[in-house]
Structures are given as structure tokens and as C-alpha cells.
Amino acid sequence: MALNEQDLWFAVFLGANIWIVWGAALLAGYLCGSIPFGYLFSRMAGLGDIRTIGSGNIGATNVLRTGNKGLAAATLIFDAAKGFVPVLLARQYLGMEAAMAVAVGAFLGHLFPVWLGFKGGKGVATYIGVITALYWPAGAFFCALWLIIALVTRYSSLSALIAAAATPFFVLAMTSVPLFIFLLALSAVLIQRHHQNIRKLIDGHESKIGQKAAPAKGA
């Protein structure tokens, strides 16, 4: 199908300014991903600073330790959406490469939000959002595997670690090598962010899903 004049000029602009486009996509993704929904929702609910309880994390698992399941669900949904929505829009209008740039930005934004001194969450929900927007079967596979392991062990961190390690290889079996490499890199970062959880799992001190929170260390 022939391009009309407007589409042709847009394609020429993208080709001539591809690094600018990718840089802008990365920044836009970061700004979306850096919105600390767990922190904001906890404050609005009168629960104080979520960073002072449990693991000190701003994600849904730590919000659940307050005992407020609705707030934890809202945090999970919004943390996933801030990855899913911008990546999906970028993929639709700018192509897969720009969508990957947005995905990196959104993921890093959650991990290192400028608004909280670059100390954010561990990225599981946002990871789910971005991989679902890039290739929805990967998101479905991750969630299904996470749920199965969580039901058996009641360890959120263990479920996330196993699902993150397995999902890139599911993608490799189903689709392209470049997407496999991309998700492998994201998974490696996510797993590294769980280094404290890994030590606690080995020592037998890791908290289980739904367990009430103690004050965070250093709070």
C-alpha cells in the first residue's frame, strides 16, 4: 500500500532523527515508569511512608504487608499500566525499536525514580506491563508461572525470580532472538534487584505473601 505524503514525511523524519526519537522514547518511558504509585497510594490512604515498613519497597507486595489488599491491587495494576500503556503506544505509532526504548525507560524509571532519590521498587509489575505490551504471550506466561509458584510456596520473590528466569526462554522458543536478548537483559536486572530476597530465601528468613510487616530496617 502506497504511503500518502504525510506518512512519507513522517517516515523520513523518523529515519533522519532516529537517535532523537529513541532518546525521547527512553525519557518518556522513564517519566511514566518513575511515578511511585505504591508510595502515593499509601500516603493518600493515610498509611504513611510505605518505605518505613517491611522490605521498604514501594511495590505491591510490600503494600500488601499493610493489610490493605485493595491498595495492594491498585498498586499492582497501576505499576503494570505505567509500563504497558506507553510501550503499547510507542509500538503502535513508532515501531518495535522505539517501544523497546520506552520499555527500558519505564522499567528503569520504576527502579530509580528521580522523585524518591532514585530509590524505587524491584520492578516486577512494571516488567509484566512492558513485556505484555511487547509480546502478550510472554506476559501471560510470566503471570501464569508466577501464580503457580506463589500458590505452592507463598513466596512472591521466589515466584518472580523463577518466572523472570524462564520467560526469555519461552520467548526464544516462540518468537525472535532479538526480543529474547532484550528480555534476558531485563530479567537479569530484575533478578539482581532481588539479591536481598535471594539471601533471605537461602537463609529461610524471607517473608511470605500476606505476612504482616515489621518496620523496615533503617526506618
pLDDT tens across the length of the chain (219 residues): 455 666 556 555 555 567 777 788 999 999 999 999 999 999 999 888 888 887 788 988 888 888 888 999 999 999 999 999 999 999 998 889 999 999 999 999 999 999 999 999 999 999 999 999 999 999 999 999 999 999 999 998 999 999 999 999 999 999 989 999 999 999 999 999 999 999 999 998 888 876 655 555 544
Q: Where are the alpha helices (DSSP H) in the chain?
A: 5-16, 18-33, 37-44, 60-64, 69-93, 96-111, 124-134, 136-153, 156-174, 177-193, 195-203
Phi, psi dihedral angles at 142 (to 5 degrees): -60, -50
Q: What's the whole-model pTM score?
A: 0.86
